[in-house]
Each structure stands twice: as C-alpha cells, then as structure tokens.
Structure 1
C-alpha cells in the first residue's frame, strides 16, 4: 500500500531528487512549497500541492493529517549570496522556527507520522578547529556558531520523539548533482581553465545525489535508522584532492588556486564551510548495511560529468 508522504521544501536540490524518487515508487506525495504552482510545473504527479507557512499551526495541521512520513528540507540556498548577519539569521529562522512549527502541528493531529526526516548539516561538527580526525555521528563537535545553530535545528526536530515519532536528522555534506548545487559552477570553471583548489582548505565531505536519494529511502524504510545520519560518501577527500580529481575527470589543469581571503570577501561567513571542512564519515549508514552506489569521488564525477550528462541550465532551486 502506498505511503502518504509530505515533502516540505520539495523544489530544492535534495527535495527535488527525493520527490521524484518517491513518485517513481508510487507513493502518495503532498508537496509543500512557497510557490505551489511552480512546484507543480517542476514536479508533476503529486497528490497535492500546498503553500508553505512559517508561523501558523492551523494550516500545518490540515496538511500533515494522515501522513505516514514527513520530510522537511525547507531552507534558503546556502551559497546563493554573501552571508551577512541578516542572511544568516534568515537561514536560522527557516531552519529552526520552521521546524518548530511543523513539530508543534504534528503533535496536535490525530495520528502523528511514523517517521520525521529533517534536514541538518555536517556543520553540526563545527569549523573552528582544524582536524584530521574522522567525525562519525557520535563525535564531539567544536564549540562554535555553526555547531550551536545546527544543534538548535536538530533539537527542534528531535522534539517529535517525545510523542512517538522516529526522527532522522540528515547531516548533509556537499551534494554532487549535474544541474543544481555547487558542482556545475566548479565544473564550468575547470572546463574554462580557471578552476583551482582553495589554498589552506581542509576536508571536503561529499555525496552523489543518487546516494542522497538512496540514504533517505533507507532512513525511511529501515526502523533502525534514527537520530543523526551523516549524508556523505566513505571516500572523504581534501579540497585539493577534490579539485585534482575534478581536473582529471574533465581533462583540464587546475591553474588558479583561490586564496581563502578572496572567498571570504565574496561569500562572507559561508566561506568557512569550504575552508575548514571536517573529515566526516558515514559510519551509521555503513554499520546498518547501506550500499553506496558511488563510494568514490572519481566514480561519482565520471557519472555526473561524462559526455552523456550535460551541464544544462539549472533547474529551479528553492
């Protein structure tokens, strides 16, 4: 029997990928978006399209009623603009307050869902200290603003466990997609002979979009998956090795190394994510038996950037 699944933030990179997979599976999907009409054009075939609400419980009660699974990917694009204090506050409002209102509504409906899958980020481990140690789901994080913000985001979602909901927190790394996210501009720069590593950068945990789909399905269907789940591949690499692999796949040299100060000038605090990445590993997924389709970076990039995969105009991302 098909599950009734509510997907909040379905037009973003991860939301699109998992929504398409759920529709392929024959599930009954309700899409919640800031622009339901645009979502319907982008993702036809869902059971219903509802408008995203930030701070009213009553509309959420009607949307969530009868859902077996709720997935929340609502966000603003992380690297869409320079991180000013105002933009960072906007992200926190969407992440924390948005999750809070969904959980509050979930608590008041007749039958809460069996599973709540909520977005998070590998930023939970922090960026204030350089480290070569592996960070699994049990690792002790740094004590910085990134950790504190992700902790509050996860705490808001984890509150649903108090009324019997299994909660999974997707600690997402750099998602590799051939149209959306950060890979297309990196690949285009490398194709145009202006690619290069970030000087002084550390680790770059990453994951192929097909394994994002696979791990979310795995989390939804496997009763043993709960709490934090690192969405990254086992083959975590340094930023320099990432660029070297990308250059090898595209048969282009990496000639233009980028100083970290230049990234900070244009990206603000978001540059810290690229400069001080942690060596995050998917220990829980491996322990529970998930089989990665693309466990190595070279295989992932060949799959996404081969001549049969075109870097076309990006799809809408919200």
Structure 2
C-alpha cells in the first residue's frame, strides 16, 4: 500500500510511519524539509507548502492520504495570535491536501483527516458517540468544526473520508502523559481540578491501529472516535498513575491555579467529555488497551 502522510514527523506521525514501514508499506511524508535522510527504502520525504513545491508530481497512484498536520495545542498559552495559528495551520494544510488529491489522475481510495473529541464540547454528565451533536461553542469545538468542514471537501472528489476524532493520547514520546505524571514522580501528585471531569484516553498503539483499520475497511467513513472504550474521571486517572508509579495521590492542583498558569488552554485539563468509540466497537476493532492500568504499566 502507498500511503501519504502530512504531519508524519510529529508524535502520532512518527508512531504511524514506524508501524506502516514495519508492515512493508510505502510511505511518503509531506514536509517542509525534504532533505532529511531516509534509512528505509520505503520511506520518502516530499516537499510541500513551499513556493514551487509540487508534491503531486511524486505521489501519483497513492492508496491513502492521512492528514496529521497542525500547530500543537499544547505549546504555549492560547493568545489570540496563537489561536489564529492553530486554526490557520489546520485549514491551510487541509486545503492543500484537497488540492493535491484533486490534481491526481487516480484518486486515493481513502482520506483520513485528524480531528478531536473537542468537537462535542464539554460535559460532566453526557456521553458522546459519533452520532452525538456538538454542544460546544468553545475554541476547541469551533476549531474542529472549521477543520472538518474543510476536510469534507474530499467527499466531493469521490474519496471516502474519515474524521478521526482523537481523545487524550497516552504515549512515551509525546502527548499529555509526561506532563500528568511529572508531579507524581516528585511525590506531589493529586487530583486536578474537581476530579469529576472525564478523560477520554487512548493508547498510542490504538491510535495507530484505528487509523490503519480505517484505511483498510471500506465501510468506515465519517467521524470515528479514537478513544479507549473505558473513559475515566480525572480523580481516578490520577490515582491510577500514582499506583502504577508507586507514588502517593495527595496534593490537589486547584482549578484557579491552573487557569492562572495556563489561561484558556487549561480547559484541556479542567474540562472534558465522556466519549465512547461506538463505531470501532460496532466494527469489532480489537483494542490493544482497554484498561487504563495496563496502558500506564506499558508506558510508565
């Protein structure tokens, strides 16, 4: 299989590229720096989003496109300038991928566009599946709506389109886990905020697995929640981290302190939603990690 990935050098991208290459697929990574050395004959770096770049000349006859590109949500306070960069990076990269696919003589059979469970909005009481409407009007929810609207143009090209709505991804090489676990390593971990907020988590191995499952299964389309089937409330999540690390869970992190430190970005930690991956469960996807304790033992 010939797979094109935008954002292939990020946290999820690296894990996905590694797994695809291990399975002998041919991978083309769209990047602004195409001069990176490749130590695998099946891995190719293709220049894009630069003047005179024409990636479509190199990636003819691709089977699938995957869009993981976009400015990180976790790299600084959400100033107005930062929020604009977060939205614009996602819209511009998606728009360029649509242009590239439109220019290809043979269209790919699948387009997988990263999205987020932030689409649904936040709630301590509701449960969200792929059929749930959005109840959110916050920055994350609005960003996802704009992003998915741009990505949905792939359907007009006759390409099966999937919106992989990521939950909180747990992994060793990136994501939120290292930040959450750090206080526990220094014997200072405790409940974050009220502790009642839901955390819809997922192990990085299942993120990679679900993306590949979506590529390979022709009847998977539209939104797909990329979360474990067992979301957990933040207090229990913290207690489990403490237990796995053999550290106490005792020093709370109050909401007002996090809001003061992180500003609007604190909503990622202080607010959440209980999201169920109903579509993957209906398609009998086999989750590698359904229990948080097992996932943390693997990662910590």
**TM-score category (smaller protein):** over 0.9
For residue 64 of structure 1, report the CA deviation from its aligned partner: 4.0
1:52 pairs with one of 43, 48, 51: 48
Please say if residues 119 and 136 of structure 2, whose CA atoms lie closer than 8 Å, have aligned partners that are also in contact: no
Whole-angstrom distance in 2 between the partners of 1:189 and 1:206: 19
Q: How many residues align?
A: 298
Please say if residues 60 and 102 of structure 1, whose CA atoms lie closer than 8 Å, have aligned partners that are also in contact: no
Q: Secondary structure at the match of 2:240?
A: helix
Q: Secondary structure at the match of 2:107?
A: coil
- TM-score if structure 2 supplies the norm length? 0.94
Cα distance change of structure 1 residues 166 and 57 upon mapping to structure 2, 3 Å threshold? farther
Cα distance change of structure 1 residues 78 and 63 upon mapping to structure 2, 3 Å threshold? farther
- TM-score if structure 1 supplies the norm length? 0.88
What corresponds to 2:140 in structure 1?
Answer: 146
Whole-angstrom distance in 2 between the partners of 1:8 and 1:63: 14
For structure 1, the residue ranges without an aligned partner over 5 or more in a row are 306-318
Q: Secondary structure at the match of 2:169?
A: strand
1:159 pairs with one of 153, 173, 195: 153
For residue 197 of structure 1, report the CA deviation from its aligned partner: 2.1
Please say if residues 53 and 60 of structure 1, whose CA atoms lie closer than 8 Å, have aligned partners that are also in contact: no
Whole-angstrom distance in 2 between the partners of 1:131 and 1:253: 26
For residue 109 of structure 1, report the CA deviation from its aligned partner: 1.7
Instruction: Give per-residue Cα distances to partners, 1:49-102, cap 9 Å, x unaligned.
Output: 122317x69624324422111111012222121111111110101111210121
For structure 2, the residue ranges without an aligned partner over 5 or more in a row are none
Cα distance change of structure 1 residues 45 and 193 upon mapping to structure 2, 3 Å threshold? farther
For residue 10 of structure 1, report the CA deviation from its aligned partner: 0.7
What corresponds to 2:81 in structure 1?
Answer: 86
For residue 147 of structure 1, report the CA deviation from its aligned partner: 2.0
Deviation larger for 219-228 or 183-192: 183-192
Is 1:122 paired with 2:117? yes
Cα distance change of structure 1 residues 45 and 83 upon mapping to structure 2, 3 Å threshold? farther
What corresponds to 1:303 in structure 2?
Answer: 298
Is 1:199 paired with 2:193? yes
